[in-house]
Amino acid sequence: MKRYILCFVGLVVMALLQSCTQSKPFTFVQLSDTQMGMISNNQDVEAERALYSQAVAYINRTRPAFVVITGDFVNKQTDIVQINAFKEITALIDRKIPVYLAPGNHDIGLNPTQEEIDFYLKHYGYDRFSFNQGGVCFAGLNSSFIKADLPQEKEQLAWLKDVFAKNKSKRKVIFIHHPFFLKDIAENEAYFNLPPQKRRDYFRLFKENNTKVVFAGHHHQNGTAAYDGIEMITTSAVGKQLGSAKSGFREVTVYPDTITHRYVEIVGTE
């Protein structure tokens, strides 16, 4: 009987510890569109190097749980100078802070060929990811496969469903380069969003699997939208802007019952 009591007490203690771990708020940073070389039209990377370095300084000072970069690391996908500059600055992020990458169209192509996919994987290692942090499941997708409706998208979708199946009880957060939509799920397809039917298919899957937020980039402007209780957040660029926003990134705080976020302008972060 004593053995059973001790086992029961042990299980209770473990459950309490797990509960405490999951309920503790934590912060992460989403960067997007460092796009080395865009400001100078591929002449150099100095402007982006300065902006990205300020973002890294902020990250190292505030020490988020992790960092996600949602694509367009470079402006010209095969430019080794741009790729190396991106990698050099990314490597300055404290090694204790995990960094995850989701490809953009400038990294892997708008309609990626196998050659482009192989080039991307050679230089960046992977084109999707998933991990758990604080009781939440995070996943990053290759949106170019979705945008171009390539055969690889089916394999990626099967992978995502498997990730969801293995994390049924957890809240989900998705990272992707292209926003599924900018303002309304019914808006027309254009360069800066994904096909309408894909939006509805994915958001139905997200809803069924307790997804709370989708974070994207690509638009070089900030945007907030939602559908069926799921936020669709578009974060402006670390690099060149295409709207009124200033260069910056998104700082996200995960609480036990909600997820909040704010856009941090790079100027003055040091």
The predicted-structure confidence for 91-111, as pLDDT tens digits, reads as follows 999 999 999 999 999 999 999
**Domain hosting residue 196, numbered range:** 26-265
Contact assessment for residue 27 and residue 254, using Cβ atoms and an 8 Å cutoff: yes
The answer to which of 1-15, 63-77, 85-99 has the lowest mean pLDDT is: 1-15
Residue 243 resides in a domain: yes
Residue 37 resides in a domain: yes
Q: What is the mean pLDDT of residues 114-140?
A: 98
What is the tens place of the pLDDT at every residue in 217-254?
999 999 999 999 999 999 999 999 999 999 999 999 99
Residue 10 resides in a domain: no
Residue 9 resides in a domain: no
175 to 69, 140, 214: CA distances (angstroms): 9, 4, 6
* Cβ contacts of 42 within 8 Å, gap of 6 or more: 75, 76, 79, 82
Residue 21 resides in a domain: no
Residue 58 resides in a domain: yes
Domain count, the chain: 1
Residue 20 resides in a domain: no
pTM (two decimals): 0.91
